[in-house]
Chain A
């Protein structure tokens, strides 16, 4: 509890700084300065430029905001899907619960990276960068819910057999009425799941991008910047190429800190 506020404030501070960098007049993550490719830090480009002369600081800030927004949205979708499936599995009639948990098992039987690769690679080659970013996070959300749904199902099962639930049912409440009472009681379980998913999705996007299957260029992303590390001339020219990686690790540490404290 002691650590919670500094971590949260630091994260919020980073978001404010990144937003300010992106919103600075004239700042553009796609504009190329052909006279200053692979430049080191200068007044014009505080974190240098990449191989195409694009400002690294602006790109890192935009990648941070994009990744965070995408991961939060994907995490919200995943948590909502898991809440729905988990509750349905726990309260559903007949073999519905068994069937839903079997679907979860099928998803969980495949390592994430393989599933992500398969789905992401089967998308059209002509997709726009914005669509590729949206699809990447939607795919992450679509594949991330089973583990969370299992935990929710276990929690909902406990609720189903709790005393207050028995009283509620005995009082004549059924169907949607029961679910309306169950969902708020699952919030203590759903909030950590939501917070844990955010760094997991940020990391998954970075790993996918490093394999060339993430967000499309020229849109900046953590994965795209990791992909830059394969460019040997760039590594020799400037050490600033490591800046995005260091910041990514810091952001992941902060996000995991927030999740751990929740």
Chain B
């Protein structure tokens, strides 16, 4: 019963957040000073068409409530409206690109976790945190995503998956190293070590269960970080994913596409956020 209530509460909260994201995004874009401007206005060949389209848009978006209702009905119909830039339903654009971005995210996060876990296990085995072991992660975290992606592209070494994995691995490593270092020093782990328990048994039997809630939070954080890195990585490597679509939509003020992307992102992040309380519940069960 308690589980069902928790799931219902989580569902309610997710729906409220997604609705607020739609409302907030609509207000944000509608009241932005550049909403009713178009780059084509600067070109005499397209200026007249652009101005008439903008006038129609101004008439359509006079009221926020009307805009919100229109966006909601588009979402309820399941197509999130029609892209102004491409003239096709937003779901059609999102569908194929979600698969591309999903594959990139899954491979990037998987590789990052593997690398971070191996590095953290090796590093935490040492007595004290070594500057040499921490340095690569520290330097990687100080490189902007766009710069790292550009360097990899120019050097023709690695692709979007490697860039994504490097960025995430650096962040995850710092977190895991600290968590593992603390876990190895827990009194019950120290006693088990003194009694001759093997490292593998300690890791699987004692350390992993105690770290489960933190790993849940890290998984959620990894997804949010990866989603933010998605835009520069996809734009620089010319990957036809959701990040590149959102970038194009942002440059061309394509509100329906932007809203569609925002809703997908909000849903993904809110779902991933569930990992943290759930893992805490499993631990206490």
Q: Footprint of B on A, CB under 8 Å?
A: 102-103, 105-106, 108-114, 117-127, 199, 203, 206-207, 210-213, 222-223, 226, 229-230, 235, 245, 248-249, 252-253, 256
Contacts and interface: CB of A to CB of B under 8 A. Distances in A.
B147 A210 contact: yes
B258 A113 contact: no
Contact of B258 (A118, A126, A207, A245): A118
Contacts of B139: 249, 253
Given A118-B258, A121-B250, A249-B143, A210 B17 contact: no
B261 interface: yes
A30 to B, nearest CB: 22
A contact face: mostly helix, strand, loop, or mixed: helix
21 contacts: A106-B24, A109-B17, A110-B21, A110-B266, A111-B265, A113-B227, A114-B265, A117-B231, A121-B253, A122-B33, A125-B39, A207-B145, A210-B144, A210-B147, A210-B150, A211-B231, A212-B251, A226-B150, A252-B142, A252-B143, A256-B138
Contact of A245 (B20, B39, B147): B147
B269 A110 contact: yes
A42 B229 CA distance: 37
Contacts of B253: 121-122
Contacts of A108: 269
B232 to A, nearest CB: 6
A117 B246 contact: yes
B6 interface: no
Nearest to B39: A125
Contact of A113 (B28, B231, B236, B273): B231
A135 B245 CA distance: 24
A122 B35 contact: yes
Contacts of A118: 25, 28-29, 250, 258, 262
Contacts of B247: 117, 211
B141 A256 contact: yes
Interface in B223-248: 224, 227-232, 235-236, 246-247
Contacts of A213: 250-251
Between B138, B144, B247, the greatest number of chain A beta carbons within 10 A of the residue's beta carbon is seen for B144
A109 B269 contact: yes
B16 interface: yes
Contacts of A226: 144, 146-147, 150
Given A106-B24, A111-B269, A207 B34 contact: no
A235 B154 contact: yes
Interface in B122-175: 138-139, 141-147, 150-151, 154
B266 to A, nearest CB: 4
Nearest to A112: B228
Nearest to A232: B154
Contacts of B266: 106, 109-110
A102 B20 contact: yes
A185 to B, nearest CB: 27
B270 interface: yes
Contacts of A113: 227-232
A117 B37 contact: no
Closest 7 CB pairs of A and B: A122-B32, A210-B146, A121-B250, A252-B142, A111-B227, A124-B34, A111-B228
A122 to B, nearest CB: 3
A150 B147 CA distance: 31
Contacts of A203: 144
A249 to B, nearest CB: 5
Contacts of B141: 256
B194 to A, nearest CB: 33
Contacts of B29: 118, 122
Contacts of A248: 144, 147
A222 B35 CA distance: 27
B7 to A, nearest CB: 18
A105 B266 CA distance: 10
Given A109-B17, A249-B143, A230 B25 contact: no
